[in-house]
Structure 1
Amino acid sequence: MTSASSTTATDDAWEPLASDRHGSWRLAAGDMAHAVTVPFVPVLIAEFAAAARVFPIVFSNSDPSPIAILGLDQHNLFVKDGVWESEFAARIGDAQAAGEQQADIYVPAYIRRHPFALLRTTDEQHVLAIDKTSPLLRKEGEEGTPLFENGKPSATVASALQFCEAFRQQAEATMAFVRALEARELLIERRANITLHSGRSLGLTGFRIIDADKFARLDGPTIVEWHAKGWLAPVHFHLASLSRLQALARRQADADAEHDGRTNANGQSESQLPTASA
């Protein structure tokens, strides 16, 4: 798992940030529209507690990175009209009341770091890169905050670098957790078959979950070791998060009802979780 790839941009969209190339560029305030076509994102072990309240957390089948499922049909069900919507708002359809209850809103760090990321160089170093296709960037004009001031990185870039470096470090900690799960053969392949009230069937494949029974049989020394490393709680957060698939199904049903002219109530579709990197 590295910081180089992105679900929201192709690999060739990323380029190292440099004053000679991006000296006049600015970062404009924007919404979450860039994330509307992102149905799965990697999550870090430090995010499990917050993310598990809102999303199902699973592990990719081909690359067992932890992944938050944001949608069942190739779209992020949490973004509507450019706004990251809470479960509360979606459930009662009252945006004003939703403003009074924000605890069920969580935007994964993978989304929040946009349009920045760290790229790994050939000598195993990391440089800050930018998604040159991002709608938040302005290549000319005065809108937004500058990326460079007097040829030097601005406070915006310094903050982005700090965030991305923290993300990279947490990604390494996350992979240590995943390697421990693999070493104990705790990850088992699963699929989800979901039928909406309309009769529409959805399938989700290409993911793994932790075998709860096998986890419960871990030996004492391993339990002590994992407790010391902070790995027990993430296991429980992951297992608890699986119940959020029902909430996703409700969101999908609402989205289908809103766009019924473009959906087939009797159709079937299947989504496969891709190899995901953080």
Structure 2
Amino acid sequence: MSEYVAVTPALRDLRWRRFTDYRHAQGRHLVPITAPESGKVASSLPLAFVADENNEWNVHALIGLESECNHCLDDRFGWRAAYVPAFLRTSPFRLMPVSDEKPTSMALFLERESPWVTPDGEERIWTSAGQLTEQVSSIFTFLKQWQTHDLRTRHAVNALAECEVLVPWVVETHHGGSLPGLFRVDESRLCALEDEPYLELKRRGALPLAYAQMLSTHQVAALERMASEAGASESVDIMS
């Protein structure tokens, strides 16, 4: 589990550098996305709906066909899919709740053990005047925008769940079995909705997400190819 620390003036001497690859995306097969980027994501990666421990729903990009394994990375941690989800483009920073008691009060946090937090990093977090640097301030603004989109997206996805149009989605892993906890839109259930629940989905912005998810299922084949290529790369005999 990554350790995140709040970005306060106590970190004034800490240095970081902008990421040059996506090694920070290792160890995950799902990435949360937001509605505004769903069309771009769906053109290159499968989308799946996932419920958390509180039965709150969200939409994710499926980036691996094994649990905690990212098949979108090459052997140099370059990104192989056509689109990089916004969630992965702010490392080593993240917007997180200030505390469990204040889950809606968000602040800027830093992943302390990130590969991009280094003593020889060219970037600072704070200026000599005690203000966030321009680079960090820009990331903070982007994260706040992302958080706003995330809340609206969750609201929309939960509407789909409430209308009972989400069904379990069996996606086979690269080595057999299936990935747990994935759901998709059942087109027949969506089309069978009465006018009022259908209009409620429209009001809550859920319909574009539903259609994007259904279209994105065709991207499983592309992810399977990347998984196969990654497996072939790992099995190369360096003595041959």
1:169 aligned partner: 148
Secondary structure of the structure 2 residue equivalent to 1:203: coil
Contact 2:58 2:157 in 1 (8 A): yes
CA distance in structure 1 between the aligned counterparts of 2:181 and 2:96, rounded to whole angstroms: 27
Residue segments in structure 1 that go unaligned for 5+ positions in a row: 1-8, 87-104, 263-278
- Partner letter of residue 165 of structure 1? K
State how many pairs are aligned. Answer: 227
CA distance in structure 1 between the aligned counterparts of 2:108 and 2:172, rounded to whole angstroms: 40
2:224 aligned partner: 249
Matching of residues 32-181 of structure 1 within 5 Å: 32-62=22-52, 63=55, 64-73=57-66, 74-80=68-74, 81-86=76-81, 105-121=82-98, 122-123=101-102, 124-138=104-118, 140-141=119-120, 143-150=121-128, 151-181=130-160
Matching of residues 22-37 of structure 1 within 5 Å: 22-29=11-18, 30-37=20-27
Relative to structure 2, which stretch is displaced further, 206-215 or 29-38?
A: 29-38
Matching of residues 143-222 of structure 1 within 5 Å: 143-150=121-128, 151-193=130-172, 200-222=175-197
* CA 1:260–1:137: 2 relative to 1, 3 Å: same
Relative to structure 2, which stretch is displaced further, 216-225 or 72-81?
A: 216-225
Secondary structure of the structure 1 residue equivalent to 2:153: helix
Contact 1:193 1:204 in 2 (8 A): yes
* CA 1:54–1:202: 2 relative to 1, 3 Å: farther
More strand by share: 1
- Partner letter of residue 127 of structure 2? E
How many Å apart are 1:54 and its aligned residue? 1.2
Residue segments in structure 2 that go unaligned for 5+ positions in a row: none
TM-score, normalised to structure 2, is 0.86
Secondary structure of the structure 1 residue equivalent to 2:180: strand
Secondary structure of the structure 2 residue equivalent to 1:85: coil
C-alpha RMSD over aligned residues: 2.1
Please list the CA deviations of residues 176-198 of structure 1 after superposition, one character each: whole Å capped at 9, or x if unmatched. 1122112111111232236x7xx
2:202 aligned residue (227, 231, 241): 227
